[in-house]
Amino acid sequence: MTNSKFEPGLDFAHQLDTNDDLASFRKAFVIQDPNLIYLDGNSLGRLPCRSIDRINQVVEREWGEQLIRSWNANWYQSPQRTGDKIAQLLGAGPGQVVVSDSTSVNLYKLVLAALEMRPNRKRIISDSLNFPSDLYILEGCVHLMNERSGNKSHLSLEIIPSEDGISMDSPTLLKAIDDQTALVTLSHVAYKSGYLYDMVAITDKAHQVGALILWDLSHSAGVVPMELDRWGVDLAVGCTYKYLNGGPGAPAYLYVRQGLQELAHSPIWGWFGQHLPFAFEMEYQPAKGITRFLAGSPPILSLLSMEAAIELILEADIWKIRDKSKLMTSYLVYLVDNLLVPLGFTLASPRIADRRGSHVSIRHSHAYQINRVLIEEMKVIPDFREPEDIRLGLAPLYTSYREVWQAVDRIRRVVVEERYTRYPFKRLTVT
């Protein structure tokens, strides 16, 4: 899959679409305006047609007619059942993934659980490519532990800097993981550049020094295959509203490998994680297995709508999805090189497909303005990331090669026709 195979014209995009094994999946999504090119499936996946039927069934039949009886009939086991479905996309056996809360809350639970399992170690390692929200949670955990313990220097968070802001130098990262490290936690795919980490090498290094590893799979689940069980990953979290198409703010999931489950404890002692929630005992006793990481009642409408979306992905082969994703991002990089770099853009994502997830960032000093023109005039929806990146997310189940070509062409026109100059140049200011 070298770029030299590609050609710049629209005909070639059609040819790629014709040869696309997954092309038929596009029909499984609601596409109200076929001329709107949606390249933000890495933030909010499109609506699967079947989610409409599922939500109607849940609302009108399960809630409206069956009322409270649906808790026993269907809802009560849905966090575990849906977790087991997501697990299939992550290379995890059953009983290790559960749907619960948000990614932030799950990360919080697992970080504190990890620190409890490594009480005498002083360091949490992450890096500057990690999603800032994850870093906030880590900072909060460190603050909690240090302030509460009355020993302000006990625990530290080390954020290893990326030199180019795009990828992480592996030797630097691996070297930082030492025998004082309690936990290493990283995003599997970086939210901004799309850099894909070597999960095996980093997990192995953490284990060599006795540290635990926690991966945030939000930007990789559903487009990058992985083998959590086989690779010995300890802990993972992720959201379901990006490539999993679970819907806005759909509940997140967490993974704790079987061997750790009896040692690990959630700091949030909720009744859904209790061993007998409806016995109404006065004292908390954690449930066996992954269930102990649940907290309160899950948001059923959001959860069961998401379950339908997961079932759709399971019908496609995750390896085929990855093959298409790599071909498609490579094609996009080829078009960027040929059509956009001459106009002042640079590639802000890894050049090698094996080191990328399914989105590509391009950089331009007028990125904010260009992004606005694309949305408001050109029927292209990418997203802007501070200070000057435009992210183009390719969702193999519904993005076509034709759309990739057209999106690049529209970006080109925005710059050539200087349309962006009519919009105010904006850098983020605090108001």
Q: Are strands 123-127 and 346-347 parallel, antiparallel or unpaired?
A: unpaired
Q: How many residues bind a second copy (CB under 8 A)?
A: 92
Find the helix packing angle between 367-377 and 401-416, rounded to 10°: 120
Q: Does 176 bind a second copy (CB under 8 A)?
A: no
The binder of a second copy chosen from 149, 156, 208, 421 (CB under 8 A): 149
| Token digits of residue 142 | 């460190």
Binding residues for a second copy restricted to 386-425, rule: CB under 8 A: 386
Q: How many CB atoms lie within 10 A of CB 336?
A: 21
Pick the stretch among 4-12, 41-49, 181-189, 335-343 that binds a second copy (CB under 8 A): 41-49
- Residue closest to 396 by CA, chosen among 337, 313, 339: 313
The secondary element (H helix, E strand) that includes residue 392 is strand 389-393
94/140 with CB nearer a second copy: 140
Q: What is the CA radius of gyration of the chain?
A: 22
130/181 with CB nearer a second copy: 130
Binding residues for a second copy restricted to 181-200, rule: CB under 8 A: 192
List residues with catalytic annotation. 131, 216, 241-242, 391
User: What's the closest the beta carbon of residue 414 comes to a second copy, in angstroms?
Assistant: 18
Q: Which residues contact 78 (CB under 8 A, 6 or more apart)?
A: 99, 298, 300, 303, 304, 307
The binder of a second copy chosen from 104, 180, 258, 346 (CB under 8 A): 104
Binding residues for a second copy restricted to 308-347, rule: CB under 8 A: none
> CA-to-CA distance for 210 and 120, rounded, in angstroms?
12
266/406 with CB nearer a second copy: 266
Q: Does 120 bind a second copy (CB under 8 A)?
A: no
CB 256 within 8 A of CB 235: yes
1/52 with CB nearer a second copy: 52
Binding residues for a second copy restricted to 241-260, rule: CB under 8 A: 241, 247-252
Pick the stretch among 7-15, 38-46, 228-236, 400-408 that binds a second copy (CB under 8 A): 38-46
> CA-to-CA distance for 397 and 315, rounded, in angstroms?
11
Cis bond upstream, residue 387 (ω within 30): yes
42/167 with CB nearer a second copy: 42
Q: How far from 171 is each of 160, 210, 376, CA to CA, in Å?
A: 12, 18, 43
The binder of a second copy chosen from 25, 90, 96, 101 (CB under 8 A): 101
Pick the stretch among 129-137, 205-213, 337-345, 365-373 that binds a second copy (CB under 8 A): 129-137
Q: Which residues contact 62 (CB under 8 A, 6 or more apart)?
A: 70, 73, 74, 75, 304
Binding residues for a second copy restricted to 292-311, rule: CB under 8 A: 295-303, 305
25/334 with CB nearer a second copy: 25
CB 210 within 8 A of CB 179: yes
User: What's the closest the beta carbon of residue 408 comes to a second copy, in angstroms?
Assistant: 20
Burial class (CB in 10 A: 0-12, 13-18, 19+), 307: buried
User: What's the closest the beta carbon of residue 80 comes to a second copy, in angstroms?
Assistant: 15
317/386 with CB nearer a second copy: 386
Q: Residue 419 in 3-state DSSP?
A: helix
The binder of a second copy chosen from 268, 339, 377, 423 (CB under 8 A): 268
The binder of a second copy chosen from 2, 4, 153, 282 (CB under 8 A): 282
Q: Does 60 bind a second copy (CB under 8 A)?
A: yes
The binder of a second copy chosen from 274, 330, 358, 371 (CB under 8 A): 274
